[in-house]
């Protein structure tokens, strides 16, 4: 994955780190980064794309993830999580997420994950709803 600067991401969410995110080495543990990614993407989906996590017929299942680490983050600081859509398919979406220290242009980490959108009951892939597709297209690369 190409290292992308802050200006490559059309949406941001401020995420405070927590005491429990730090590991024995004094920086955010690698597992916490995936929580940041999930929070940034799902916040966008709920607030801007109409995802109804409780009653909606369509839900997103993560089928692939990855992360590149460039610089450590640590508690206490607030991380700026940038989100963009790298690929918008019929029933799948590939996201890229950049984690930035406040005010910095180079990411401390950059992640990716793929959602496949499925019917809540059958768990079979379904086309993205029109409103969700439009919101995702607005942040596509």
pTM listed for this prediction: 0.94
Cα–Cα distance, 70 to 132 (Å, whole number): 32
Q: Does residue 125 lie within any of the structural domains?
A: yes
- Whole-number Cα distances in Å, 97 to 5, 16, 77: 11, 16, 18
Number of separate domains in the chain: 1
- Whole-number Cα distances in Å, 93 to 86, 106, 113, 118, 129: 8, 24, 8, 12, 12
Predicted confidence (pLDDT) per residue in 29-84, tens digit: 999 999 999 999 999 999 999 999 999 999 999 999 999 999 999 999 999 999 99
Cα–Cα distance, 106 to 138 (Å, whole number): 23
Range of the domain at 74: 6-137
Check which CATH number belongs to the domain holding 30 and give it: 3.10.129.10
Q: Does residue 1 lie within any of the structural domains?
A: no
Average pLDDT over residues 114-121: 98
């Amino acid at each position: 994955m190409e290292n992308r600067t802050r200006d490559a991401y059309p949406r941001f969410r401020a995420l405070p780190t927590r005491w429990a995110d730090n590991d024995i080495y004094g920086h955010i543990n690698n597992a916490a980064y995936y929580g940041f990614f999930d929070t940034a993407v799902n916040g966008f989906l709920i607030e801007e794309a109409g995802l109804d996590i409780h009653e909606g017929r369509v839900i997103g299942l993560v089928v692939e993830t990855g992360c590149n680490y460039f610089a450590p983050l640590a508690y206490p600081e607030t991380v700026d999580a940038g989100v963009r859509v790298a690929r918008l398919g019929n029933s799948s979406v590939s996201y890229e997420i950049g984690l930035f220290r406040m005010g910095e242009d180079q990411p401390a980490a950059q992640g990716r994950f793929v959602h496949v959108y499925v019917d809540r009951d059958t768990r079979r892939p379904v086309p993205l709803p029109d409103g969700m597709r439009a919101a995702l297209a607005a942040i596509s690369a």
